Amino acid sequence: MTARRRLVVVGGGITGLAAAFEWRRRRPDDEIVVLEAADRLGGKLHRVELAGHWYDSGPEAMLARVPEAVRLVEALGLGDRLVAPATTQASVVLPDGRHPLPAGTVLGVPAAADGLEGLLSPGGVARVRAETDLPPLRVAGDVSVGGLLRERLGDEVVDRLVEPLLGGVYAGRSDELSLRATMPALAGQLASAGSVLAAAAAARDAGARSRGDADGPVFATVADGIGSLPEALVTAAAADVRLRTPAHALRRTAAGFELSVGPAAAPEVLTADAVLVTAPAPKAARLLAEAVPGAVEPLRGIPYASMAVVAMAFPAQDADAGSGLLVPPIAGRLVKGVTVSSAKWPHLAGGPLLVRSSVGRFRDESELQRSDEDLTAAVVADVAELLGLARPEPLETRLVRWGGGLPQYLVGHPGRVAAIRAAVGEVPGLAIAGAAFEGVGVPACIRDAYRAVDSLL
Ligand SMILES: Cc1cc2nc3c(=O)[nH]c(=O)nc-3n(C[C@H](O)[C@H](O)[C@H](O)COP(=O)(O)OP(=O)(O)OC[C@H]3O[C@@H](n4cnc5c(N)ncnc54)[C@H](O)[C@@H]3O)c2cc1C
């Protein structure tokens, strides 16, 4: 039998809490302390009450085909609370109107020109078709998604199809986002495929083959909100949670680690045998300055986009927009996306029209300077117009701001992650995980949490 150890988890978001849960499963007798700087658990997992429902203001859909999130919900005994979407048909809003998202793309990257008519101009479709006439593709190292696709498939594919999808996931810009980090499956096929279209087809088919269950739902949510998971996780993990307790500094000692925690003016010292850092990259950089100086620069190289989410309940009416709208920059609107939750999720149907919409992109955050009232009113007006609502006066609204909400995987991101992992890996008993590294989605964060627990155990 091994001695009882103390794990300290810095950050009580999904990564930290999933790690605490997994650690408890594997080491039932250890002490687990979760340090959380904020006055609530969950980080980006957060729910509000809207028109009598629990309503997510952070993540609202979990990719079911990366199975870690669904399996974790089941392991918590909440499998009967999992909900599959009633519809996933979304449309893109462009200057010339609304267009249904075509099927069979890899994050917007098409595998063929067929099916793009209408969404792209005839010239844009011809440009995609003409990729087969270009010399075979050679990609050395990492490149930007936009850079590669503009060159191979033309601007329209990027501005009208890829940008809305990538913007939805990262609140980022395809001209700056790393191909290898944001589209690893596609990037992995490029060398052998010789063209973007062939690589997208190969990535799509390989994904379908490895899933085997290609007909299963792509996304899932939780009936009480994904924001209900933090409480369930921390109870199951039997962790000692310390809210309003930031970790400021980490030192190595002969026996393990010492953390300086609590109010900056009067910090306490907490000892640990193992430490898992899940704070966002800029905070992690500060925390690791002394113990892992080699991780500081690459952590600082991961910037974040800020955004705001407005949740709205309108009088019951049909929005006729499927699961929602993606709104790329060329549409020239305030909002960058609209989710029609009461159409998308069966458990939210049957009452008021429930909608959420987000504002703010990387390097385009000026609208977030507005007051809560002003921003909410402007978002409501934009959404009502985009959905063509007959009854546009909302019954209820909630605004949630996400300063530093989503890390940006810029060109060179895989190299930064490798450097951070290598530097942290030189310190036995220390690990780092979270949205900043190999996937911003909830399932990817859980996967990274498990990887970190594996490395520590
Ligand atoms: C608006 C929005 C919508 C999203 N939608 C989706 C979606 O639909 N589907 C999906 O899969 N993903 C979505 N995401 C992404 C996903 O929610 C996040 O990437 C993920 O939840 C991040 O989890 P995390 O634990 O890595 O980080 P966080 O949630 O940021 O948790 C880190 C925690 O560390 C704490 N902390 C920071 N510094 C310290 C310190 N010094 N000491 C102690 N604690 C500290 C923070 O307070 C925070 O609670 C969305 C994100 C946002 C912002």
How far apart (Å, rounded) are the C-alpha atoms in residues 130 and 125? 9
Does the pLDDT at position 245 exceed 60? yes
Amino acid in the structure at residue 77: G
Cα 376 to the center of its chain, rounded Å = 23
DSSP track, 151-212? HHH-HHHIIIIIHHHHHHHHS--TTTBBHHHH-HHHHHHHHHH-SHHHHHHHHHHHHHHHHS
Residue 140 pLDDT class (50, 70, 90 cuts):
confident
> Which of these three, 187, 211, 235, is where a domain ends?
211
- Is 53 part of any domain? no
Does the pLDDT at position 1 exceed 50? no
Mean pLDDT, residues 298-302 taken together: 98
Query: Which distant-in-sequence residues (6+ apart) come within 8 Å of 373 by Cβ?
Result: none
Based on the fold, state whether residues 296 and 425 are members of the same structural domain: yes
Based on the fold, state whether residues 309 and 375 are members of the same structural domain: yes
Residue 5: per-residue pLDDT: 96
Based on the fold, state whether residues 401 and 414 are members of the same structural domain: no
Q: Which atom of ligand 1 is found nearest the CA of 433?
A: 26
Residue 236: per-residue pLDDT: 98
> Which residue, among 335, 387, 379, has the nearest Cα to 361 in the 3D structure?
335
Supply the angle between the helices 413-425 and 293-300 in degrees, to the nearest 10: 160
Based on the fold, state whether residues 187 and 162 are members of the same structural domain: yes
> Which residue, among 155, 157, 87, 112, has the nearest Cα to 325 in the 3D structure?
87
- Are 415 and 434 in contact by the 8 Å Cβ rule? The answer is no
Based on the fold, state whether residues 349 and 425 are members of the same structural domain: no
Based on the fold, state whether residues 256 and 331 are members of the same structural domain: no
Identify which has the larger pLDDT, 342 or 214: 342
**Is the shortest distance between the CB of 171 and ligand 1 below 6 Å?**
no
Q: Are strands 274-277 and 6-10 parallel, antiparallel or unpaired?
A: parallel
Q: E-assigned strands of 172-300? A: 219-222, 240-242, 247-252, 257-261, 268-272, 274-277
- Is 96 part of any domain? no
Q: Which atom of ligand 1 is found nearest the CA of 248?
A: 41
- Is 392 part of any domain? yes
Q: How far is the CA of 206 from the centre of ligand 1 (A)?
A: 30
Residue 212 pLDDT class (50, 70, 90 cuts):
low
Mean pLDDT, residues 312-330 taken together: 96
**Is the shortest distance between the CB of 407 and ligand 1 below 6 Å?**
no
How far apart (Å, rounded) are the C-alpha atoms in residues 332 and 338? 14
**Is the shortest distance between the CB of 405 and ligand 1 below 6 Å?**
yes
**Is the shortest distance between the CB of 43 and ligand 1 below 6 Å?**
yes
Q: How far is the CA of 438 from the centre of ligand 1 (A)?
A: 14
**Is the shortest distance between the CB of 12 and ligand 1 below 6 Å?**
yes
Amino acid in the structure at residue 51: A
- Is 399 part of any domain? yes
- Is 88 part of any domain? no
Cα 260 to the center of its chain, rounded Å = 30
* φ, ψ (nearest 5 deg) of residue 117: -60, 140
Mean pLDDT, residues 74-91 taken together: 96
Based on the fold, state whether residues 362 and 417 are members of the same structural domain: no
> Which of these three, 175, 190, 211, is where a domain ends?
211
Counting residues of the chain whose pLDDT is more than 90, the rounded percentage is 93
- Is 19 part of any domain? yes
What's the CATH code of the domain at 294? 3.50.50.60
Based on the fold, state whether residues 336 and 400 are members of the same structural domain: yes
User: How many Cβ atoms from other residues are within 10 Å of residue 390's Cβ?
Assistant: 11
- Are 198 and 17 in contact by the 8 Å Cβ rule? The answer is no
Does the pLDDT at position 214 exceed 70? no
Based on the fold, state whether residues 399 and 332 are members of the same structural domain: yes
> Which residue, among 109, 143, 146, 107, has the nearest Cα to 128 in the 3D structure?
109
In this structure, what DSSP letter does residue 222 have? E
Structurally, the chain folds into a number of domains equal to: 3
The CA–CA distances, whole Å, from 137 to 104, 131, 133, 151, 187 equal: 21, 10, 11, 11, 12
Residue 38 pLDDT class (50, 70, 90 cuts):
very high
Does the pLDDT at position 213 exceed 60? no
pLDDT in tens, 381-434: 999 999 999 999 999 999 999 999 999 999 999 999 999 999 999 999 999 999
pLDDT in tens, 359-385: 999 999 999 999 999 999 999 999 999
Greatest alpha-carbon pair distance for the chain in Å reads 70
Residue 206: per-residue pLDDT: 87
How far apart (Å, rounded) are the C-alpha atoms in residues 110 and 176? 20
- Is 94 part of any domain? no
**Is the shortest distance between the CB of 16 and ligand 1 below 6 Å?**
yes
> Which of these three, 211, 235, 263, is where a domain ends?
211
Based on the fold, state whether residues 161 and 183 are members of the same structural domain: yes
Strand, helix or coil for residue 299: helix
Mean pLDDT, residues 133-153 taken together: 95
Based on the fold, state whether residues 402 and 313 are members of the same structural domain: yes
DSSP track, 311-363? EEEESS-----TTEEE--GGG--S-SEEEEHHHH-GGG-SSSEEEEEEE-BTT
**Is the shortest distance between the CB of 440 and ligand 1 below 6 Å?**
yes
Q: Which domain holds residue 417?
A: 6-48+61-65+71-79+223-302+410-456
Residue 218: per-residue pLDDT: 86
Burial class (CB in 10 A: 0-12, 13-18, 19+), 122: exposed
Based on the fold, state whether residues 400 and 421 are members of the same structural domain: no
How far apart (Å, rounded) are the C-alpha atoms in residues 228 and 55? 10
Q: Rg of the Cα trace of the chain?
A: 22
Residue 65: per-residue pLDDT: 85
Counting residues of the chain whose pLDDT is more than 70, the rounded percentage is 98
Burial class (CB in 10 A: 0-12, 13-18, 19+), 139: middle
What's the CATH code of the domain at 369? 3.90.660.20
**Is the shortest distance between the CB of 62 and ligand 1 below 6 Å?**
yes
- Are 131 and 195 in contact by the 8 Å Cβ rule? The answer is yes
Strand, helix or coil for residue 171: coil
What's the CATH code of the domain at 186? 1.10.3110.10
Does the pLDDT at position 210 exceed 80? no
How far apart (Å, rounded) are the C-alpha atoms in residues 294 and 291? 9
- Is 116 part of any domain? yes
